[in-house]
Amino acid sequence: MLPFSKPSISEDEMRAVAEVLASGWITTGPKAEEFERALAEYIGGGIEARVFNSATSALEASLLACGIGSGDEVVLPAMSFVATANVVVRVGARPVFADVELLSRNLDPASAESAISSQTRVLMPVHFAGLAADLAAIRELSAANHLVLIEDAAQAIGSDYAAGRIGSSGNPVCFSFHPNKNITTIEGGAVASADPDLLQRLERIRFHGIERFANGEIDVREWGGKMNLPDVGAALGLVQLAKLDDFNRKRRDLARAYLRRLPRDERLLLPADVEGHSWHMFCVCLDFLALPTTRHAVMQWFRERGVILGVHYPAMHLFSLYRRLGYSEGDFPVAERIAAQTLTLPLFPAMQESDVEQVCGLFEELLHGAPP
């Protein structure tokens, strides 16, 4: 069975984890600090990194560290994993959705501009599937409206934009190291920033609000959670980070093989191949009504033939939680089209081009035969 994602774990990672387990110190410690330094060096731009137990925690802590709370609004795309919006609710602010662009699935700057109000404090673009959002337009929009820019780069470790890596901009940029991401720490995340005050606040927020002093004393001046990354995960991350460029190179090769071999058909919409893309996922849109069939039937048909497909993602504004904020069908037509038609194809470094050929052959059969 060919899954849509699979972490690349070798003896190197197993040995690194075993060494931490044998050390007697398995929670946050020297490996987490080493991983932070390695991330900062990899990302570049003079930033520092702080690691967390998830990208969700990293996003939540970033909002809190920027002083976002009750009465504030955060503008974000309607197409993302629901954590992007959930953290806004978690800190007491209001998520305000904007539409996305069809091929990139990234935030549409024009739609974002129309969503800004006098209560807007943050612009939060998502780098969907590893493709950088239109940061030039987004930065201009945030500066013109005096907004904090927090980037959800959960899917974009190793992605590039213009002359630098995603994360090197200096504003808060949040990454994920979940097992389906381009590198993994089992569960984990990080924030990249060049603001020393923000970094210090992130350190307090991620561990009970505790501030430590040189004389060994501590103080607690504000609320903090339990968001720290253990050394076991950090050790795994250090080995994975050293392989990240190779992982991403293989992902790009596989994605381009898909783009060459998938059938050209008006019912199948393919993603764009853009420089700097790290290809966390390869997502297509399939017009199920035109076939005609249903997504469930197609996914089951692929599974019966040894291939598992994913769905990334439903449109967030149509979840019950966000309908209660007044959102409904028709608000964001591009995000809703993607949500209705999306399929995620298998993509991970251990795949072979023969796997790509298998998937592409099934799409040929699906589009030119009897639909399931």
pLDDT in tens, 337-361: 999 999 999 999 999 999 999 999 9
Q: Decide if 51 contacts 238 (C-beta within 8 A).
A: no
For the chain, which residues make up each domain, given as ranges?
A: 11-238, 245-368
pTM over 0.75: yes
What is the number of residues in the chain? 372
Superfamily of domain 245-368 in CATH is: Aspartate Aminotransferase, domain 1 (3.90.1150.10)
181 is catalytic: yes
Look at residue 92 in the predicted model and tell me its pLDDT. 98
For the chain, where are the E strands, in sequence order? 48-52, 73-77, 94-98, 120-123, 148-149, 151-153, 160-161, 164-165, 173-176, 189-193, 210-212, 218-220, 268-269, 282-286, 342-345
For strands 120-123 and 148-149, give the pairing.
Answer: parallel
CA nearest 243: which of 27, 16, 81, 28? 16
129-177 pLDDT per residue, tens: 999 999 999 999 999 999 999 999 999 999 999 989 999 999 999 999 9
Are 11-238 and 245-368 the same fold in CATH? no
Look at residue 73 in the predicted model and tell me its pLDDT. 98
Residue keyed to tokens 């071999």: 261
Q: How far is CA 59 from the centre of its chain?
A: 11
Cα-based angle 117, 69, 325 (whole degrees, multiple of 5): 60
Residue keyed to tokens 């990249």: 192
Residues whose CB falls within 8 Å of the CB of residue 158, separated by 6 or more in sequence, listed in order: 130, 165, 166, 182, 183, 244, 245, 247, 248, 278
* Strand-pair partners of 77: 98
Among candidate residues 31, 181, 226, 250, the one labeled active-site is 181
Q: Which residues of the chain have pLDDT under 70?
A: none
Look at residue 77 in the predicted model and tell me its pLDDT. 98
SS3 state at 155: coil
62-76 pLDDT per residue, tens: 999 999 999 999 999
Q: Decide if 88 contacts 111 (C-beta within 8 A).
A: no
The C-alpha atoms of residue 268 and residue 363 are separated, in whole angstroms, by 9
Look at residue 104 in the predicted model and tell me its pLDDT. 97
CB atoms within 10 A of CB 334: 19
**High-pLDDT (> 90) share of the chain, %:** 98
Look at residue 370 in the predicted model and tell me its pLDDT. 84
Look at residue 149 in the predicted model and tell me its pLDDT. 98
The C-alpha atoms of residue 156 and residue 175 are separated, in whole angstroms, by 7
Q: What's domain 11-238's architecture?
A: 3-Layer(aba) Sandwich (3.40)
